[in-house]
Structure 1
């Protein structure tokens, strides 16, 4: 009776149901009383799982097996009870291990899918870019020699510029764009972008910059980071229908090996985190699963290319960082960017250049 907290002298002679079962389950204990006179009642030798009760009233899951005992008069029985808590804990750990394994496999499959699409996208973008260079060069030659065709040629040049922008976005997703990293204080960069972000978001959107007073420095291409943050703010504006609040939160984050194990795509280390949160309509899980895929968009036709988040994903990964989306339908979305910390000091000139508005 040690399992249940009873002393031998307290337990001997008392009804087993009163000792081991909660009040609502004591009817099951009457099987012992039926067993005594006629040998019937509880199934002999068949394991039964029940929730017993300790002396202090706390529940304990047990397995009970009843065995018949020979008796000169009447019938007898003995019951063997086994504490199921160790087995339940082992099963729970195994379920958790299997769940994490399944999540890791899913994350790996998603990463491999994006990697494969990225390689294909990079090849297409480079070929496309080469064609655009040839067209652009020939058009510029024509502009110098034929003024009568100037309007048409300028239209062609405009198309070339749009194609070049598309190519740059594809290269960003494929992690093959040329980067020029420098030591950047992200807080300073965002403060210099304040007016640009507000113009892009519109007067009906409030932008709040939170945290970052003691922010670490990051080694990142400042102009590309500006473009990514600008795109995230524009996406947030669209998700809110042009009215709401966007919060850009900055903080330092140390990720240890245990936290990295829970998320197999992120490496242990020290990061500068940029979290862009909106008060928009949010994303259902099936949309979040595809958010980083190139050309995937939930916006109406002609309202978006579907390359904004995929470009951000490629840039952050190429910079040695990570990007995550958390969203609740009806409550809003948070896109978090993790940039590796650098111990170098931000250069004044580099920081000043980082503050130039994105073109």
Structure 2
């Protein structure tokens, strides 16, 4: 059944074939009808996705079905309807954004046969729904323009026909036309902002998925290059050793640049796991001053204007430093003949009227502002409209990736903040970042000593769970080189079986995203039930809700982000084991 069901699931991607394909899929799974109900992001209610049947077999209402199923707190079994003599039997499966329902009698569907394709299908249906909503709003705006045009023509005819009240009608006409023009302009502006926000969201989903695969590959590439470098450094007998070392160094440098680009993609798509704390922003800027000065060069004068009563800000300090540095680099490139860069901080309040005018959701309240202003060449409106798009750049080929501002945008939005850019040609640019105020005292960062290679070794037993074969082999190799007892598993089921038969595992090192419906968090929970003292270290190249919620790493979770290096893995494993 699996191949046939997968083919029928693929057919659901086409709207015009969706009704027939859903009927065929239902029969394949032993039922009469198959539905996908999508969750409305604004109301939280569910409705059939576009192209699916709008009623259950026998004429029963799907609204009544969902209501009764919700009241019973189940989505399976038999549900009777007061408006129908038909007894409907249904089995459902819930996702975060959708509910799948199979209707029929004596159902025992094999969901696993279609499970691999469901996340992508649901994402496609959600995108269709957003596009459908956007087109509906666009049609409403067009109808408003048509209505306003007809109204203006009617007023013109009335003005010509009624000479006794012509002056009054002219006054009314002028007033009404102005109001209509203002309303049309307001709607057009809101529609444009909405379309831009939806476009950025769609691009973010795509780039996040690409970054996940790249991070797995980059970990293997960087690990292999590090191994080659260590081997070359330990010998002096090879001919052309210097040339090989130089080639290895160049390749490793390129891989690190690729890892940086991938991190920026994750930041834009808001899939970077953040670890926010309470930060003294003025203190952070003072610590960055030397770095910023060297980055800007001698031609640009840096001025930092602090605030004596500045509130603490709640954000990830490392990502905030990256955002400020990215903006400083952009400002430097916009001032080729020199100029002044001013960084100013302050306390502010975003009121209800202001946040209501924004296309993205931003809660009103207290925020800490950091404004970065330059005296550079500035930007026109066309450039400003695209400035946060990834890979969009006005720089020459080879001089910019187009990911700096998109990284800033993703970090600020994931931090529940707001970013605004003001710019005019020849009048410079100001970027204002608003981050939520923290009520806690700022954290004090302690100096951390770098451990020696000997201190990173160990003899504990470690279970490595990773579905990517080359990455699993690399991770196990690193840990064995450090002296650990290493066991490995390619999936969650194998890892759980091993944990149930073993009593001597000190650390579980597991990928978060795994096949077959289970993830690293499921393995960790099972491991702690079996071995309460076991330590857990997660790794991932793309955050999911298993260990990250609302963009923030769950409390008490240890995470090593991909791509990681030999030293990074060694230090993190030793740190977790020693806690």
- TM-score, normalised by the number of residues in structure 2: 0.45
Counterpart for residue 159 of structure 1: 254
Residue 329 of structure 2 is aligned to residue 212 of structure 1: no
Superposed CA deviations along residues 144-195 of structure 1, whole A, max 9, x for unmatched, are: 4455443332332222111111111111111111222110121121122111
1:215 partner SS? coil
Q: Is the CA contact (8 Å cut-off) linking 2:197 and 2:359 kept in structure 1? A: no
**CA distance, structure 1, for counterparts of residue 416 and residue 161 of structure 2:** 65
List alignment gaps of at least 5 residues for structure 2. 1-159, 239-243, 449-579
Q: What are the within-5 Å matches in structure 2 for residues 51-130 of structure 1?
A: 62-63=168-169, 84=172, 92-130=178-216
Equivalent in 215, 219, 223 of residue 137 of structure 1: 223
Single out whichever of 110-119 and 233-242 deviates more from structure 2.
233-242
**CA distance, structure 1, for counterparts of residue 416 and residue 294 of structure 2:** 30
Residue 273 of structure 2 is aligned to residue 178 of structure 1: yes
Counterpart for residue 45 of structure 1: 162
**CA distance, structure 1, for counterparts of residue 352 and residue 177 of structure 2:** 24
Q: How many residues align?
A: 280
Distance 1:142 1:212, change over 3 A: same
**CA distance, structure 1, for counterparts of residue 309 and residue 427 of structure 2:** 30
**CA distance, structure 1, for counterparts of residue 345 and residue 169 of structure 2:** 53
* Deviation (angstroms), 1:293: 0.9
**CA distance, structure 2, for counterparts of residue 312 and residue 173 of structure 1:** 7
Q: Is the CA contact (8 Å cut-off) linking 2:225 and 2:252 kept in structure 1? A: yes
Q: Which has the higher contact order (CA 8 A, sep 6+)?
A: 1
Counterpart for residue 440 of structure 2: 344
Counterpart for residue 9 of structure 1: none
**CA distance, structure 1, for counterparts of residue 377 and residue 226 of structure 2:** 46
Q: Is the CA contact (8 Å cut-off) linking 2:344 and 2:370 kept in structure 1? A: yes
2:445 partner SS? helix
Q: Is the CA contact (8 Å cut-off) linking 1:202 and 1:242 kept in structure 2? A: no
**CA distance, structure 2, for counterparts of residue 92 and residue 213 of structure 1:** 47
Equivalent in 293, 301, 304 of residue 397 of structure 2: 301
Counterpart for residue 191 of structure 1: 286
* Deviation (angstroms), 1:89: 5.6
Q: Is the CA contact (8 Å cut-off) linking 2:393 and 2:400 kept in structure 1? A: yes
Distance 1:233 1:145, change over 3 A: closer
* Deviation (angstroms), 1:93: 4.7
Equivalent in 257, 264, 267 of residue 363 of structure 2: 267
2:197 partner SS? helix
Residue 429 of structure 2 is aligned to residue 333 of structure 1: yes
**CA distance, structure 2, for counterparts of residue 318 and residue 212 of structure 1:** 25
Residue 355 of structure 2 is aligned to residue 228 of structure 1: no
Single out whichever of 141-150 and 153-162 deviates more from structure 2.
141-150
**CA distance, structure 1, for counterparts of residue 215 and residue 276 of structure 2:** 23
1:98 partner SS? helix
Equivalent in 312, 319, 325 of residue 408 of structure 2: 312
Counterpart for residue 142 of structure 2: none
Q: Is the CA contact (8 Å cut-off) linking 1:100 and 1:262 kept in structure 2? A: no
1:180 partner SS? coil
Q: Is the CA contact (8 Å cut-off) linking 1:275 and 1:334 kept in structure 2? A: yes
**CA distance, structure 1, for counterparts of residue 385 and residue 164 of structure 2:** 45
Residue 371 of structure 2 is aligned to residue 285 of structure 1: no
- TM-score, normalised by the number of residues in structure 1: 0.72
**CA distance, structure 2, for counterparts of residue 326 and residue 196 of structure 1:** 25
**CA distance, structure 2, for counterparts of residue 325 and residue 179 of structure 1:** 24
**CA distance, structure 2, for counterparts of residue 47 and residue 206 of structure 1:** 69
**CA distance, structure 1, for counterparts of residue 162 and residue 178 of structure 2:** 27
List alignment gaps of at least 5 residues for structure 1. 1-42, 51-61, 65-82, 354-359
Distance 1:207 1:145, change over 3 A: closer
Residue 342 of structure 2 is aligned to residue 247 of structure 1: yes
Single out whichever of 172-181 and 341-350 deviates more from structure 2.
341-350
**CA distance, structure 2, for counterparts of residue 100 and residue 300 of structure 1:** 36
Q: Is the CA contact (8 Å cut-off) linking 2:303 and 2:343 kept in structure 1? A: yes
Superposed CA deviations along residues 43-71 of structure 1, whole A, max 9, x for unmatched, are: 88336644xxxxxxxxxxx338xxxxxxx
* Deviation (angstroms), 1:348: 2.7
* Deviation (angstroms), 1:238: 1.0
